[in-house]
């Protein structure tokens, strides 16, 4: 559900960018009083895992479409809303800057749609009441599936509203929303079960993590995290480096809906103005565009040729492992910066 710049007007993109930046400032301020040395590596490793997991599209049977994990609920449940939002923002920023996945003008919308809803609306008002304190497997499953479905429905509807407010007449509200909501319902159900599996593993391996997040406090110093960190770090490397070869070749839910409405998978991009400038910047920063080597991206595919599956490409593996590593470092630096700022604030007279 990564939006391209072509879907947005500069006014809408800038407005949502401002709102997203405000939420980022709020999250950083709140995290100052909660973060510790235990949370920073957990944020980094989970961010790397979500980056890699988003590379794997799964086919939605009978539709010709596919979906991928958003990951916002996984991050919110394991990190808390503030750390989760900043981690998701980091993942999406790395994707846009270095892999040309989602536009730079649309980055604020993408962070809002995939970060704000799961972290600040669905987690506190849906997941926590449903999961309860006992966190039985059944309640975790129901809470995970329902929460992910609601978060994705909100995000998909926001995409429709953002294109409507941008004046994209090629995407009439009625036709677009009637395609976006059902396909993301199907995607949300699949992601919900994956989320339940991830949370179930952590609940069995280190239930203290869930208890700490629920109580809005850092993970205690005595809780060993090495096993959980190792498992998710290995999953990030394996997923980005090898499992990504087996991603579905069908268009994702957003691209599928656009193609159904307009007859083509992409809308024309602006040749001048802010969007064009940002596109030029992205072309310079994206050293692995579309999760592959630039040389591969420059070679035109033969007409009417179906993409190879599995897509066993060195460029895909390089993108997966490199991107996960960049997210790990970036989130770690953000965490260290917030911790340092919090200590300075706490020591001030």
Confidence category of residue 210, pLDDT binned at 50, 70, 90:
very high
58 strand-pairing partners: 67
Residue 171's SS3 state is: coil
Q: Residue 321 domain-assigned? A: yes
Q: Residue 18 domain-assigned? A: yes
Count up the domains in the chain and report the number: 1
Residue 348: pLDDT above 50? no
- The per-residue b/e assignment along 240-279, b for 16 or more CB within 10 angstroms, e otherwise, is bbebbbebbebbbbbbbbbbbbbeeeeeeebeeebbeebb
Q: Residue 341 domain-assigned? A: yes
Q: Residue 229 domain-assigned? A: yes
Residue 151's SS3 state is: helix
Mean pLDDT of 224-230: 96
pLDDT digits (tens, 9 = 90+) for 18-27: 999 999 999 9
Residue 349: pLDDT above 50? no
Question: pLDDT higher for 153 or 297?
Answer: 153
Using CB atoms within 10 A of its CB, is residue 324 exposed (0-12), middle (13-18) or buried (19+)?
buried
Using CB atoms within 10 A of its CB, is residue 112 exposed (0-12), middle (13-18) or buried (19+)?
buried
Mean pLDDT of 238-252: 96
Residue 308: pLDDT above 60? yes
Q: What is the pLDDT of residue 201?
A: 96
Report how far residue 90's alpha carbon sits from residue 195's, in angstroms, rounded to the nearest whole number: 20
Using CB atoms within 10 A of its CB, is residue 189 exposed (0-12), middle (13-18) or buried (19+)?
middle
Q: Residue 158 domain-assigned? A: yes
Q: Residue 297 domain-assigned? A: no
Residue 42 structure tokens: 């957990």
| Domain boundaries, position 329 | 5-290+308-347
pLDDT digits (tens, 9 = 90+) for 76-115: 999 999 999 999 999 999 999 999 999 999 999 999 999 9
Mean pLDDT of 221-238: 95
Q: Residue 295 domain-assigned? A: no
Cα–chain-centroid distance for residue 263? 27
Q: What is the dihedral of CA 271, 272, 273, 275, to 10 degrees?
A: 20
Domain containing 247 — which CATH number?
A: 1.10.1760.20
Q: Are 16 and 278 contacting, i.e. CB atoms less than 8 angstroms apart? A: no
Report how far residue 50's alpha carbon sits from residue 18's, in angstroms, rounded to the nearest whole number: 25
Q: Residue 326 domain-assigned? A: yes
Backbone angles phi, psi at 58, to 5 degrees: -110, 140
Place of tokens 């310079």: 284
């Amino acid at each position: 559900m990564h939006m391209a710049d072509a879907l947005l007007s500069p006014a809408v993109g800038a407005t949502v960018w401002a709102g997203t930046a405000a939420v980022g400032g709020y999250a950083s301020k709140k995290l100052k009083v909660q973060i510790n040395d235990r949370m920073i590596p957990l944020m980094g490793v989970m961010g790397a895992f979500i980056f890699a997991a988003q590379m794997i599209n799964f086919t939605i049977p009978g539709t010709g479409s596919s979906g991928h994990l958003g990951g916002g609920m996984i991050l919110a449940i394991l990190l808390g809303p503030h750390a989760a939002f900043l981690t998701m923002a980091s993942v999406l920023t790395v994707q846009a800057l270095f892999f040309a996945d989602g536009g730079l003008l649309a980055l604020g919308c993408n962070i809002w749609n995939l970060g704000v809803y799961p972290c600040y609306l669905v987690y506190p008002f849906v997941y926590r009441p449903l999961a309860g304190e006992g966190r039985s497997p059944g309640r975790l499953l129901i809470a995970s599936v329902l929460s992910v479905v609601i978060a994705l429905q909100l995000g998909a509807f926001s995409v429709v509203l953002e294109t409507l407010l941008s004046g994209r007449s090629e995407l009439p509200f009625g036709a677009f929303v009637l395609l976006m909501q059902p396909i993301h319902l199907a995607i949300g159900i699949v992601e919900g079960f994956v989320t339940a599996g991830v949370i179930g593993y952590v609940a069995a391996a280190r239930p203290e993590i869930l208890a700490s997040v629920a109580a809005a406090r850092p993970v205690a110093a005595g809780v060993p995290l090495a096993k959980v960190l190792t498992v998710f770090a290995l999953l990030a490397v394996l997923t980005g480096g090898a499992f990504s070869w087996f991603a579905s070749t069908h268009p994702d839910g957003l691209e599928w809906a656009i193609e159904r409405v307009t007859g083509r998978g992409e809308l024309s991009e602006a040749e001048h103005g802010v969007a064009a400038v940002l596109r030029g910047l992205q072309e310079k920063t994206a050293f692995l565009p579309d999760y592959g080597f630039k040389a591969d991206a420059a070679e035109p595919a033969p007409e009417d040729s179906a993409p190879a599956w599995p897509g066993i490409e060195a460029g895909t593996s390089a993108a997966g492992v490199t991107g996960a590593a960049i997210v790990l470092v970036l989130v770690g630096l953000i965490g260290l910066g917030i911790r340092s700022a919090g200590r300075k604030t706490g020591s001030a007279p």
